[in-house]
Amino acid sequence: MTQMAKALLVDDRRENLMALEAILQGLPVQAVAVESGEAALKQLLVDDFAVILLDAQMPDMDGFETAGHIKRRERTRHVPIIFLTAADRDAQLALRGYQVGAVDYLTKPFDPWVLRAKVSVFVELWVKTRQLAAQSDLVRERDAQWRVLTDAVDEATTLLHADDPDARDRAV
**One-letter identity of residue 106:** L
Tens place of pLDDT per residue across the chain (172 aa): 457 899 999 999 999 999 999 999 999 999 999 999 999 999 999 999 999 999 988 988 999 999 999 999 999 999 999 999 876 666 677 778 888 888 988 888 889 999 999 999 999 999 998 888 878 778 888 887 888 888 888 888 888 887 666 655 555 4
Nearest to 55, CA basis, from 24, 30, 26, 86: 86
**One-letter identity of residue 122:** F
CA distances, 140 to each of 123, 143, 158 (Å): 26, 5, 27
Residue 120 to residue 49: CA distance in whole angstroms: 13
Of all helices (H) and strands (E), which one includes residue 154? Answer: helix 112-163
